[in-house]
Each structure stands twice: as structure tokens, then as C-alpha cells.
Structure 1
């Protein structure tokens, strides 16, 4: 009886090994399995004046220290004045936060200053120099969307303004006004 039991166990083990072998070698005859995954790109509209923009807390200084300074045009070119990332075409506007550069009670009108896009800028679109005022004015129109587009600006005080009563005869000192840039979608 024990011999028969051993024989049955051996036979069963052999059958199991044979079955496993057939399964392993028979896998190539089984159909392939597939899985599908959905990939979503979730986009948001982005408008950003990037860190590193000189206009974010920066300053532009003009020094009038002698007759030659008052009798000539002065231009300050500021690289990376604005670095813009925008997912849509846009306009860039500029305005002064007040009507005058001020030094206490003393004032110089903001319209002595002209702002224009420097040709080294990577921002596209139409641009023309603007004479600064308290009204929003379009400095760049129809700019293409892009990432980290730099706008280099020229700030100019023409000789006609520096040698006029707008600036001549004023007490010495620092005259200050803030300028605001606004980027908006078209």
C-alpha cells in the first residue's frame, strides 16, 4: 500500500511538473496583454513679469552735474527692464504714478522723459517711443507669447527738455516718480 501511495505521489508530482512545463512553454501561444493610460496636459493661462526684471524695484538715475549735461540728450539703457512670460499675445502699457518728479514741494513734469524699446529686446510686436504721462500708454502692442522674453528699455531725456524751464532753475536734489508697467492679454 505504501508503495502504491509513493507511486501515486510520484505520478502526481510528475503530472504537476509536466503541467507547469506545458504552461511555461505554452505561454507563447497565449494572446498578448495590453494596458492603456491617459496622459493629460492641464494648461493655465500665465502672465508673469519674472524675477530678475530691473523694473521690479529698480531705479534709473539721470545725473545733471554740469552745463554739458543740461545741453545734451541723456539716455539710460536698462537691459532686462522687464522679463515676461505670457501664454497669449499681449500689450505692454506704461504710465507714471504721478504728474511730476518730486523733491519735496519742487516738481518737474514727467513728460520730460521718453521711454522706448531698445533694439536688443527679444519681445516682438509694434513699438514706438512714448512720452511719459499719468495715462496708460501702449509701449509694445501685439507682442507674441513666449517664455522669459526680455525687454531692454531706453529712458531718454531730450536736450530740448533738459535745457528748458521744465528742468532749469529748479533747486538741486533728487526728483523722484514711480513708473508702472502693465502686461495684458489681447
Structure 2
């Protein structure tokens, strides 16, 4: 009986090991994957974009002043770009200082790989500020506003003189 049981066991084992399980598979047709790109560029101003030069004492009129605006704006661009700056008009109220009393500079450390132009005077004509910045998903710019010679502020009536400034990023 043991012999018969052994023969049956060997026969069942041979049958089990003799069959190979074959997995079934299927194949789809080709699938197209598209990445559709469009040129995209934007500028977002920082939380506190207003620039204030305060001349409250006699000593304030004695030398240059710089107001640094860290994280002044952020540029997102999928291609290299140039930055320009433009003043919206003369300082108001009328009779204020000339626009070019204020110069604008982007320090090289925050120029996003571009070439900054130093001491760009405010003007109603667009002026280059940074040339050939690299594409970026969020380049943060610091901007220095400077009045190097406050002499043209002398003899002006006490008031707040204002103008608007616009930054433009143009893809190359």
C-alpha cells in the first residue's frame, strides 16, 4: 500500500510540475502623450510696493538716500526676458521735482542671471533695468531707489510728491 501511495504521489507531482502556468497578457495600441506649451510671463508685486523717501530734518537734505525694497516683485517666465522701468508721469502735485531725481537699480545678486543696468533714472520712456534674465518659476527681485543729490528738493513746498512706476518683463 505504501508502494502504491508512493507511485500515486510521484505521478501527481510529475503532473503538477509538468504543467507550466502561463499568464495571459494583452497589449494596448499606442498612446499619445502631449505636452502643449505656450509662452507665459508674469510680474507680481510684493506685499508693500510703496516707496517712501522721508525728508524730515535738515540732515536729510545733506546727502544721498536709498530705499531698498527687498522682494519688491517676482517674475515667472518660461523663457529668458528683459526688465524695463517706466514712470507714469511727472511728480504731482505740479511743480515737484524732476522725475530723474530718482534712480532705480536691481542689485546684481537679485538679477536672476541677467545683466543689471545701474542707476536708471525715472522717465516716462521705458528704460532697460535688467537684460537677459534667465527663465524662472519665481525670480524675486530687490530694487534700490536712490536720490543721490537732493539739491533739487530745495525750495519745494512741503508736500508728498508722487508718481507711479511700472515694471515690464518682455520675453526674448
1:183 aligns with 2:165: no
In structure 2, relative to structure 1, the CA distance for the partners of 1:168 and 1:29 (3 Å cut) is closer
Say if 2:111 and 2:130, in contact at 8 Å, map to a contact too: no
Task: Give distance in 1, aligned partners of 2:103 and 2:76.
Answer: 25
Of residues 120, 130, 134, the one that matches 1:140 is: 130
Counterpart position of 1:16: none
Which segments of 5 or more consecutive residues in structure 1 lack a partner in the other structure?
A: 1-24
Task: Give distance in 1, aligned partners of 2:23 and 2:96.
Answer: 91
1:86 aligns with 2:77: yes
Say if 2:83 and 2:170, in contact at 8 Å, map to a contact too: yes
Say if 1:89 and 1:185, in contact at 8 Å, map to a contact too: yes
SS for the counterpart of 2:153 is coil
Task: Give distance in 1, aligned partners of 2:42 and 2:145.
Answer: 23
In structure 2, relative to structure 1, the CA distance for the partners of 1:28 and 1:172 (3 Å cut) is same
Task: Give distance in 1, aligned partners of 2:23 and 2:155.
Answer: 99
1:156 aligns with 2:146: yes
SS for the counterpart of 1:70 is helix
Counterpart position of 1:121: 110
Task: Give distance in 2, aligned partners of 1:45 and 1:168.
Answer: 48
Of residues 53, 56, 61, the one that matches 1:70 is: 61
Say if 1:77 and 1:118, in contact at 8 Å, map to a contact too: no
Counterpart position of 1:107: 96
Aligned length: 152
TM-score with structure 1 setting the length = 0.75
Task: Give distance in 1, aligned partners of 2:23 and 2:32.
Answer: 29
1:48 aligns with 2:42: yes
Of residues 159, 164, 169, the one that matches 1:173 is: 159
The Cα shift of 1:101 comes to 1.4
Task: Give distance in 1, aligned partners of 2:75 and 2:105.
Answer: 16
Q: Radius of gyration: which is bigger?
A: 1
Task: Give distance in 1, aligned partners of 2:111 and 2:92.
Answer: 33
1:34 aligns with 2:27: yes
